[in-house]
Amino acid sequence: MRADLAVNYGEERLPRYTSYPTAPHFSPAIGAGAYALWLAELPAAASASLYLHVPFCREMCWYCGCHTQIVRRDGLIAAYLRTLRSEIAQVSEMIGRRIKVEHIHFGGGTPTIMAPEAFAELMAAMRQAFFVLPSAEIAVEIDPRTLTADMVEAMRLSGVNRASLGVQSFDPVVQRAINRVQSFEQTASVVDMLQHAGINGINFDLIYGLPHQTVASCLDTVRRSLELGPDRFSVFGYAHVPAFKKHQRMINEAVLPDGLGRHDQACAIANALKEAGYVQIGLDHFARPGDSMAVAFEQRTLRRNFQGYTTDKGEVLLGFGASAIGHLPQGYVQNEVQIDAYAQSIAAGHLATAKGYGLTDDDRLRADIIERIMCEFSADLGDICARHGAEAGAVLKSASRLKPLISDGVVRLDGDRLAVAKDSRFLVRSVAAAFDAHLDPAKQLHSRAV
């Protein structure tokens, strides 16, 4: 990775492109009526993935950028889960059949905050409303500090086969600075419990760019993580946006690394994981050779959605819960963010859709280009444009942000085929942004490019 490019481009605020257009462009013009119509129009052969958002934690991690709230009373969680089951039944009824489901992902918040029996009931509700394929991947995000043996057993009995563990950093200084003290022993114990339960798909989430973090502490976290042998790593740069996430004001900005420091940390983590035999997948994922994600990357079938990189080939993502986002062929929908507003809509028998976006032909074209760039570090613009009835030359002419990237050696353009240089792949978001017709650089809504 070239440090000069990290300096030149690293401070720019850009989307992670888990959708296109991105969520800031969603509008109340797309509401419950549009979503109901879109559900009814789903093709008979369509299959779906499900995302369930559980917006509760026992305490706030100060780096967190998710929609979540601190809860002490389990009654609030139980009431929310009843609403979630009602929404599942409601959406299934609007589809009009038990649509096939290939992926289920529980995110948060802390999904495992719910009682084990409540988790089993929720899984049963999904199996009743949808045809969950026997081969379906069922993944749960986990806070190792609070996971219990009873919850692991409930997950096992419910068919969970992948767990994503929040690790972030094992450095105690960093942990105290982000209000997330989590020992190596706690994490190791959870990995052991999961594996004994037959839940062998293990992901670790790491973060760089945290307060007091150094290259040395990043490498120590990687070294200790490797002792536990996860199949995959997700490695994210901390997005410091205290104007939008007020709890991030608890983090002292003076001890955050600058752009070059973040670049060095990202490089160190990536190199250590590759030296350990992991395959780098796109912007921020790493997987063991032979893992389904590594195979998808090799076969150029990797996709990108709101959970990041995925092997999911479906065009339908149904989102459930407060703030959850769904993706259908017609566009995007997002539920009410506030839990009370979400619950009131569902209780009244209405979909909780608060806003969304209807895709245009140009959006679909650009979404395909951006997804290939994010997934493969390249894009055959001629082929993609031909499939959409567009001209590659016109698309390239509109991508004015591409010119300095080509001049700086970040991008190579061979005819209509674009490729990101190997030593510049950490700037893949900058390359994708060149094709974003909605991007407004003046609005600081996103995380730093590096």
Say which CATH number the domain at 437 has.
1.10.10.920
Name the phi and psi angles at 357, rounded to 5: -155, 130
Per-residue pLDDT of 228-276, as tens digits, reads 999 999 999 998 989 889 999 999 999 999 988 998 999 999 999 999 9
Residue at 265 is within a domain:
yes
Give the model's pLDDT for residue 441: 67
* Average pLDDT over all residues of the chain: 94
Give the model's pLDDT for residue 450: 56
**Same domain as 14, residue 32:** no
Give the model's pLDDT for residue 8: 74
Give the model's pLDDT for residue 449: 52
**Same domain as 60, residue 161:** yes
Q: With 0-12 CB in 10 A as exposed, 13-18 as middle and 19+ as buried, what is 120?
A: middle
Give the model's pLDDT for residue 81: 98
Q: Which helix (H) or strand (E) holds 8?
A: helix 3-9
CB of 241 closer than 8 Å to CB of 14: no
**Same domain as 369, residue 229:** no
Least trusted range by pLDDT, from 217-221, 316-320, 442-446: 442-446
**Same domain as 125, residue 66:** yes
Residues 328 and 8: their CA atoms lie apart, in Å, by 37
Per-residue pLDDT of 68-93, as tens digits, reads 999 988 999 999 999 999 999 999 99
**Same domain as 43, residue 7:** no
Q: How confident is the model at residue 154 (pLDDT cuts 50, 70, 90)?
A: very high
DSSP letter assigned to residue 81: H
Residues 55 and 287: their CA atoms lie apart, in Å, by 28
Q: How confident is the model at residue 328 (pLDDT cuts 50, 70, 90)?
A: very high
Domain holding 11, by residue range, is: 1-20+360-450
Residue at 380 is within a domain:
yes
Q: How confident is the model at residue 423 (pLDDT cuts 50, 70, 90)?
A: confident
What total number of domains does the chain contain? 2
Q: How many C-alpha atoms does 165 have within 13 Å on its Cβ side?
A: 32
The size of the chain, in residues, is 450
**Same domain as 379, residue 309:** no
Of 320, 341, 372, the last residue of a domain is 320
Average pLDDT over residues 356-384: 97
Distances (CA, A) of 388 to 323, 364, 372: 31, 8, 15
**Same domain as 4, residue 50:** no
**Same domain as 316, residue 268:** yes
CA angle 213, 217, 218 (to 5 degrees): 85
Residue at 260 is within a domain:
yes
DSSP letter assigned to residue 359: P
**Same domain as 390, residue 242:** no
- pLDDT surpassing 80 at residue 414: yes
Average pLDDT over residues 98-116: 96
In this predicted model, which residue has the larger pLDDT, 29 or 314? 29
Q: Which helix (H) or strand (E) holds 264?
A: helix 259-275
Closest CA to 319 of 353, 344, 345: 353
Per-residue pLDDT of 42-64, as tens digits, reads 999 999 999 999 999 999 999 99
DSSP letter assigned to residue 313: -
**Same domain as 407, residue 277:** no
Closest CA to 357 of 348, 369, 366, 349: 366
**Same domain as 144, residue 260:** yes
CATH number at residue 113: 3.20.20.70
**Same domain as 415, residue 312:** no
- Estimate the crossing angle of helix 116-129 against helix 149-157, to 10 degrees: 20
Residues 421 and 100: their CA atoms lie apart, in Å, by 40
Residues 266 and 260: their CA atoms lie apart, in Å, by 10
Give the model's pLDDT for residue 443: 59
